[in-house]
A and B are shown apart, each in its own frame.
Chain A
Amino acid sequence: GAGVSQSPSNKVTEKGKDVELRCDPISGHTALYWYRQRLGQGLEFLIYFQGNSAPDKSGLPSDRFSAERTGESVSTLTIQRTQQEDSAVYLCASSYLTGISDTQYFGPGTRLTVL
């Protein structure tokens, strides 16, 4: 079946503008995650959604970052008033949550460049 998809693949924006990044998880996956990968660094957790539970927002770096998820489908990560340090690849992942097999499957990412 189809994997996790993300759009756009690349986004160049000017400092101070708002951006929206989209993630379509694998159908049937109840959990969805956003991570950020800055150049030369490891992945950082941003936010996690599971069904109708309150999202885990503990990784969001500032109140300029927010995310929404519609049911168990599409998610949108929004960054307001972008800064140059927001430049990174933003990766989305989805998984089942069975307590036994919870392999996270990643999308190709959105490369965000803030000028």
Chain B
Amino acid sequence: KQEVTQIPAALSVPEGENLVLNCSFTDSAIYNLQWFRQDPGKGLTSLLLIQSSQREQTSGRLNASLDKSSGRSTLYIAASQPGDSATYLCAVRWGLNDYKLSFGAGTTVTVRA
């Protein structure tokens, strides 16, 4: 069964610390992987999309890596700020002709000022 797992479910860090968020998936033959941010009462905001042929993507303080052979992706957020507090979701598109996303349950991050 194709599954996406995010551990831990929650994380609390002091401001300025780097954040490391983990995502694992059961089938290495993915098409792409997307990281989202979800704020309470709001929809999802796309952060980064990594194609299966890529090893990493970067946007500002965010960097996402992809290791298909081990079934893992990691989202790094440098120098965390209180405004980074949110739930971060990892989503996998399994194949070219499979357009839906399979989501992990998310990691809820709290950055303490």
Contact residues of A with B, CB < 8 Å?
4, 31, 33, 35, 41-45, 48, 50, 56, 59, 91, 93, 97, 99-109
Contacts and interface: CB of A to CB of B under 8 A. Distances in A.
Contacts of A31: 99
Interface residues of B, number: 24
Given A93-B44, A106-B44, A108-B41, 19 more contacts: A4-B43, A31-B99, A33-B100, A35-B101, A41-B105, A42-B89, A42-B105, A42-B106, A43-B101, A45-B100, A45-B101, A48-B99, A50-B99, A56-B100, A101-B49, A102-B93, A103-B46, A103-B49, A107-B43
Contacts of B46: 103-106
Contacts of A93: 44
Interface in B2-52: 4, 32, 34, 36, 41-46, 49, 51
Interface string B45-61: 11001010000000000
A1 to B, nearest CB: 15
A12 B101 CA distance: 28
Contacts of A45: 100-102
A56 B99 contact: yes
B4 to A, nearest CB: 8
A54 to B, nearest CB: 13
A38 to B, nearest CB: 11
B89 A91 contact: no
Given A42-B105, A103-B34, A108 B89 contact: no
Contacts of A109: 42-43
Contact of A48 (B34, B42, B100, B105): B100
Contacts of A105: 46
